[in-house]
Chain A
Amino acid sequence: MKTANTLLVIASVGLLAGCSNRASEPNGTHSSSSSSAGATTHTIGAVATDIAPQRLYSRAPLNVIAGAAMSTQALNPATILGDSYAPVTTRHLESFHHFGASSTGSYKIPIDTTEGEASLFINPYGELTATGIDEAVRANVDILDPNGVKVNARQQRSATDTGGRAMTWVPLAGHPAGLYTVSFHGPAAMDTAIEGRFQSSNIVMTLKPASLQHLLGGEQYVEATLTESGKPIVGAHLTSELIHGEQIQHLAPVTFTEVGGGVYRAALHPLFSERSSTAAYLVDVDADGVAPSGLAFQRHGETGFHFGIPTAQVVDVVAQRQLTNEQGLITAFEVDVKVQSSSADRLEISGKLTAVGSDGIEHPVAIAHFGDVIAPGTQVVTLTFDAGNVRMTRMEGDFMVRDLQIFSLGTNTLFWREQAGHNRVFSRVARTQLVKRTEFSGAQRELVAEGVLFDD
């Protein structure tokens, strides 16, 4: 049995250390370009994907729970800063024609190609009020090619095959392009959609929002570009609607104006106010016209963005520092972010650390989050990046603070994103200066196994 006399205490490594040292750099480092241990500091300005309110608004209190929470995680350094932030340009080769219930008579629709798997689809929609009504709606429609040949006639398989059910999917191969006729035998019992897919067409409509996050007080545009084999299509007629994307409510028409070069632009911000719902929105676009080759066409597509009412923003990055242990090893990088809020909300402030890779591009190496209810006024919050995470990337040199962000957890809205991160830099950091992690998350273990991160 042991006694007190048999007990000896020795310190573990660094046992005699006191509290962490804080090497404060209240003014930070603003470098345009400096060589260091294998990397170069990049100073960047505002970029197109930045999000910043023009002003802050007050809003009714949100039902959010207070209490601070933080997180620091490693990121995959194989990824690229800003990836997925940029609004996506979507490419559309579809058409959509809608015929209301009780439609009668004949209508012309343009088919610009029948190549490849070009197809039409006849789809009734709305409430199915009786069994088989959808089948009857399909059978009520004839679609004729420019030569008057019915294209939605099911081919007989044998002499006894009388044609069977009405067609939903109508392949167009073998028929000419041009104006097709949609003819109703009698009043349509339901709304009917004639959808077209033309994967081999040279006539393309692209859609792109100016930003994925529209904040009240700012401007938001959607751009449509029409081309045929790369040549601009001018004089097209665009009809469009703004749709509440989370409740599928058709809200208001959207007006596109031709700006030249096949580009058409619509201003969306006049359609929003403080009474607008915070939500994802869609812009549904139909374009009709004649291509340079003389082919008539119709194209349909959707793009989207999120709308929110901003109540917070980053005012400044007021300080940065490196935390070290008694051996002088860096245990964490910290930046103090001053946040201004106009209404209480649970805000998640985050930022990334990046380093310049051998490819000359900045790659994220770590991400830090801070979350709490931020009352109206200004408050300084600290983002803490675990240096052990950074060490695992084997990157060294200058570490840039990037992608400062405020995400409202109360409204799921991005209030702020600044890629430059006020160009705060932790300069000339060698890997040997960073403390080594001894415990790893699931993602880190995975990335170590894949050779992306390193546990040495």
Chain B
Amino acid sequence: MRANLKTLLAVGVAASGTLLAASASAAPAADGVFFVHGTGDYTAPTVSACNSGNSPSCPTYLNPTTGTAISSYWTQSSINSMIADPAGGNWSYGVAGYTGASSNAQTSYATIATQLLGFYHSSTPIGDIVVVTHSNGSNPIRYLMAHPTAIVTDPTWGNVCAGYLVGGTCTTGHYVGTYAGIIKKAVFIAGDDAGTPLADLVVKIGNFSSLASNIISDILGPGSLTTSGAIPQQVQATMTTYNGNGTFATNATLPEAANIIYGSGVNAGLFSSEAWCGGYLDSVGLKATQIIGWGSSSAATDGFIGTNSSTYVGTDPNGYGGDSKLNHNQSRRSCDGVNSHITAYVHSTLNGAFTAPPTDYVEPPAVQACDLATPQWLPSTSGVPNSYYVWGCTSAMHADSNTDDDCEAIYGTDNWSASANNYTVTIPFDYAQTGYSNPVYYYPYTQNSGGCSDSWLGNGVCDLCLLAKYGYDTASGSSGDDDCYNQGSGTQTTCADILYGASQSANVYADIYVSH
């Protein structure tokens, strides 16, 4: 019977310790912002190969400081200002670096997805991620959003379906199951979603005119003076094609929330401090493109793209509108206070999503409120014996190489590997590989087709699926005990776990009353 569960689980990453250790490292640093640059070939931060046996597995993807994507495109100071939570502290961050000039979005999305997954694995893991893009960086993300069934490469696990990133059900690759998507929101800064007349020039003349050359090389970065890749992709007529034939997600097909931030003017006055933010010469160049209509022939422009393009996809719920003092270069350099708008949108998604578990949760397994270690049949409330079976976790079960969900919930680890001399599944890092992540056990028994629900956090029932997911079961912002805290002798805890139901001939997620 244990084989039933075994088939649902995959090999994960080894880590020592118990549930207590896992829960202690589960939060709260698990919020992340991932930056995707626009046109230009920029190098990614230097990262080491992901570890295959320990958690976290891709630590070098976390908070990087190297690579031209940071040093030349965003700048470290701008990134620092965009990861500052207005409520205090900093979010973790990752940075994509890719051939954003010589590759178009239909190609570069795969590289970005791999780096995003590396960032996801960089902590324990990064749970909620907001992707912040600038300029043409929006389009590879829109490709991912439009195609949740595409296959991308995880730096640790190999092939995974894009639904793991943007929401969907994967039946192939490492992640098998239904996922809400690790990308919770995209913030498109000056997104070039409908193209730019500046790119149109390349079509007619086969190269950029000299005025444009300076601007392209200075502002759009290395590799931009090519007649293939990202620049021709941004030709207005071509973007119309891609938006219409399903290549890129639009507002009508967007699975994730997307907020927009955009500039609508260029200030190049020599004595204006606004003109100097982000680089005076770039401001002058963008003023020139704005004047001669290359930013847009029909709308306000930030010097490179028109607001018709930067507002094409996404919403502006905070009502920031276009910033007439924010040119295309400045919008990635935190000029004119734009970083506060970006962090406000990030904050609205990440705030409170992960709260540190109460300190009083630290206790040995033997006194856990829902220590379901003993395999046994249980009587039902209707008096029918042998209705439900607790799989449990004996020391032998914990020490063998079989997968047992209760071991994961009780000890935080399972699947001993003699060769690795370690456990190969540890939670919450390997939550996706546990049976608790499989919706089949929940629906229709709990009326929740999405499986283990965050809405159960702190609802009074100790959900072992949430222990597996986060290492705790407490509502966001709660300062009190969590649902899985043993309140002592004479008290009762309502627990919920995957049990075998005899009448259903299936494993079901059910409530158990445990008296202490």
Scoring A86, A134, A443 by chain B CB atoms within 10 A of each residue's CB, the highest score goes to A443
**Contact of B444 (CB < 8 Å), options: A20, A83, A212:** A20
Interface flags for B179-203 (1: CB within 8 Å of A; 0: not) read 0110111000000000000001011
B66 interface residue (CB < 8 Å to A): no
Q: Is the beta-carbon distance between A68 and B444 smaller than 8 angstroms?
A: no
Q: Is the beta-carbon distance between A369 and B257 smaller than 8 angstroms?
A: no
Return A77 CB to nearest CB of chain B, in Å: 11
A67 interface residue (CB < 8 Å to B): yes
The distance in angstroms between the C-alpha atoms of A80 and B253, with both chains bound, is: 11
Contacts of A168 in B (CB 8 A): 211, 292
Contacts of A432 in B (CB 8 A): none
The distance in angstroms between the C-alpha atoms of A305 and B516, with both chains bound, is: 70
Chain A contact residue count (CB 8 A cutoff): 113
Q: Is the beta-carbon distance between B388 and A9 smaller than 8 angstroms?
A: yes
The distance in angstroms between the C-alpha atoms of A17 and B442, with both chains bound, is: 11
Interface residues of A in 328-381 (CB under 8 A from B): 329, 331-332, 346, 348, 364, 367, 369-372
**Contact of A246 (CB < 8 Å), options: B232, B376, B378:** B232
Scoring B151, B366, B381 by chain A CB atoms within 10 A of each residue's CB, the highest score goes to B151
B172 interface residue (CB < 8 Å to A): yes
Interface flags for A306-329 (1: CB within 8 Å of B; 0: not) read 100000000000000000011101
The distance in angstroms between the C-alpha atoms of A282 and B239, with both chains bound, is: 11
A450 interface residue (CB < 8 Å to B): yes
Scoring B106, B148, B376 by chain A CB atoms within 10 A of each residue's CB, the highest score goes to B148
Contacts of A107 in B (CB 8 A): none
Q: Is the beta-carbon distance between A325 and B244 smaller than 8 angstroms?
A: no
Q: Is the beta-carbon distance between B147 and A325 smaller than 8 angstroms?
A: no
Contacts of B479 in A (CB 8 A): none
Q: Is the beta-carbon distance between B378 and A9 smaller than 8 angstroms?
A: yes
**Contact of B227 (CB < 8 Å), options: A70, A248, A369:** A248
B349 interface residue (CB < 8 Å to A): yes
Interface residues of B in 79-132 (CB under 8 A from A): 104, 106
Q: Is the beta-carbon distance between B253 and A367 smaller than 8 angstroms?
A: yes
Q: Is the beta-carbon distance between B170 and A69 smaller than 8 angstroms?
A: yes
Q: Is the beta-carbon distance between B235 and A304 smaller than 8 angstroms?
A: yes
Contacts of B106 in A (CB 8 A): 412
Scoring A9, A12, A386 by chain B CB atoms within 10 A of each residue's CB, the highest score goes to A9
The distance in angstroms between the C-alpha atoms of A257 and B49, with both chains bound, is: 60
Q: Is the beta-carbon distance between A9 and B380 smaller than 8 angstroms?
A: yes
Q: Is the beta-carbon distance between B246 and A71 smaller than 8 angstroms?
A: no
B421 interface residue (CB < 8 Å to A): no
Return A424 CB to nearest CB of chain B, in Å: 20
A414 interface residue (CB < 8 Å to B): yes
- Of B27-35, B37-45, B159-167, B272-280, the one with at least 4 CB within 8 A of chain A: B159-167
Q: Is the beta-carbon distance between B204 and A96 smaller than 8 angstroms?
A: yes
Contacts of B241 in A (CB 8 A): 212-213, 245, 280, 304-306
Q: Is the beta-carbon distance between B211 and A280 smaller than 8 angstroms?
A: no
**Contact of A121 (CB < 8 Å), options: B150, B170, B292:** B292
B419 interface residue (CB < 8 Å to A): no
Scoring B159, B200, B257 by chain A CB atoms within 10 A of each residue's CB, the highest score goes to B257
B511 interface residue (CB < 8 Å to A): yes
Q: Is the beta-carbon distance between B251 and A76 smaller than 8 angstroms?
A: yes
Return B157 CB to nearest CB of chain A, in Å: 13
Scoring A72, A86, A94, A98 by chain B CB atoms within 10 A of each residue's CB, the highest score goes to A72
Return B419 CB to nearest CB of chain A, in Å: 28
Interface flags for A257-295 (1: CB within 8 Å of B; 0: not) read 000000000000000000000001010100000000000
Interface flags for B232-253 (1: CB within 8 Å of A; 0: not) read 1101111011111111001111
Q: Which residue of B lies closest to A93 (CB)?
A: B297
Q: Is the beta-carbon distance between A212 and B172 smaller than 8 angstroms?
A: no
A438 interface residue (CB < 8 Å to B): yes
A11 interface residue (CB < 8 Å to B): yes
A15 interface residue (CB < 8 Å to B): yes
Interface residues of B in 451-478 (CB under 8 A from A): 451, 453-456
**A282 in contact with B235 given A441-B167, A442-B257 (CB within 8 Å):** yes
- Of A123-131, A174-182, A224-232, the one with at least 4 CB within 8 A of chain B: A123-131
Contacts of B238 in A (CB 8 A): 245-246, 280, 282, 304
A106 interface residue (CB < 8 Å to B): no
Known: A9-B381, A69-B151, A90-B240. 4 other contacts (CB 8 A): A13-B447, A69-B170, A79-B251, A168-B211
Sorted nearest first, the 9 A-B pairs with minimum C-beta distance are A67-B172, A371-B149, A325-B444, A71-B168, A304-B237, A442-B184, A134-B210, A123-B209, A446-B257
- Taking Cβ atoms with an 8 Å cutoff, the residues of A that contact B are 1-2, 4, 6-18, 20, 51, 64-73, 75-76, 79-80, 83-88, 90-91, 93-94, 96, 98, 119, 121, 123-128, 134, 168-169, 191, 193, 197, 199, 212-213, 243, 245-248, 250, 280, 282, 284, 300, 302-306, 325-327, 329, 331-332, 346, 348, 364, 367, 369-372, 386-388, 405, 407, 409, 412-414, 417, 435-439, 441-443, 445-447, 449-450
